[in-house]
Structure 1
Amino acid sequence: MASIKDLDVGEKFSSKLEEIRTKLLSQAMGEMLTESTVEFCQAHKQYMKSVLDTCSKKCREDETMFETIQGYTDELKRLSSSMKETNREQPEILGSIQDKESHKELLIQKIEKLKQEQIKNRELIQSQNKANKDRLKNLNRVKEIFQERLSLEIRKIQGEKLQFIFRNINHKNPQNAYTFLLRINEDGEYRSKFFFY
């Protein structure tokens, strides 16, 4: 083998080896870094796309939620306005109801009073009917007595006039008629005339 005489050759060789080693390392690292970077970039893109999709979906959901909230807010304002209007009308309605209740109470009291008066009137009418029936019985008895004893005959003449005819008054001539005419004038007064035949 040949001898190496140049002392710098070892150093040059070492430095060349180091250079090659560095070059190889940097190439290997570059390839490794490039592959990792590409994978990392793709993973990062997919992750960012997933995050962007999630954010877009969340944004749409938030917009829908904000629209719903706005709708509820508008409905709440409308209901609040309606309640204020109702609250303004409520005293009038309550006053009207109270007036109707008091009017109802008055009507109930009047009805009760009228019922009591009707009961009293019915009792009065019944007692008057009984009294009238008793009077009518008495008058019929008296009429029968007058008819038997005095041959009384009662006739209705020309509307509001009554003619009473008595016989058997004169014992000497029992067929003689004595007439009594009774009528009521416009003032409600009785007018009478006596006749002898």
Structure 2
Amino acid sequence: MASITDPNISVKFTSVMEEIHNKTLKSYGEIMDMTTELCQSHRQFLKPALDTCLKKCKDDEVLFETIHTFKIDLEQKNASLKEKHNGISDVISEIQQKEMQKDELIQKIEKLKEEQAKRKELIESQNKANKDRLKNLQKARLVFQDHLGMEIRSVHCKTEQVKGEKLQFVFRNINPSDENSAYVVTMGVKEDGCYQIVSSDPELQCLPVLERRLQETNNLPAFLANVRREFISQARG
């Protein structure tokens, strides 16, 4: 070991320290160069990645905007579809109501047809009955007016109980003491085609019975004959 009293020790120490210092500087320089190289390499590596990330971000923004646009468009289409669906429901409901109205109208038409057929049948029946009654009146006219001096008059009634045109059958040659004395029965035809006895002069108590028998038999000549017989019986009684 060198003695510290050696006059060259200081020079040697300085030389060693400089050598160490130089080696350290060299190593430090190498590290700095390596660091710089690594930084440059890192920058070169990061730049494409950063560009890729930025491009990806822009693409994502475009994608998000597209998705948002699609979402708004979808919501609008859903709203429009819902509105159309409600419109279709309203149309279907209206069609169903019209179908119901159509069925009701068909039923009313059928009912009217049935009622019209019944009215037609009733009118035909009444016309037939009226023709029969006209024939009876004509027969009665021949029997009573031509052979027994009976007079037939047409009168118009305006009372609350009896309205419309009626016929009066005026009988004469009833009372032997006064052959010109008039015995009158007034009658007409109801809306249903039945005979209606309005009154008799003089009054016959049995007139309701005779009227009921007329309704049952529809034989007007027999009714008039019975009325004449009752007038004779009352006049000579």
RCO (CA 8 Å, sep 6+): is it higher in 1 or 2?
Answer: 2
TM-score normalized with structure 2 length: 0.40
TM-score normalized with structure 1 length: 0.47
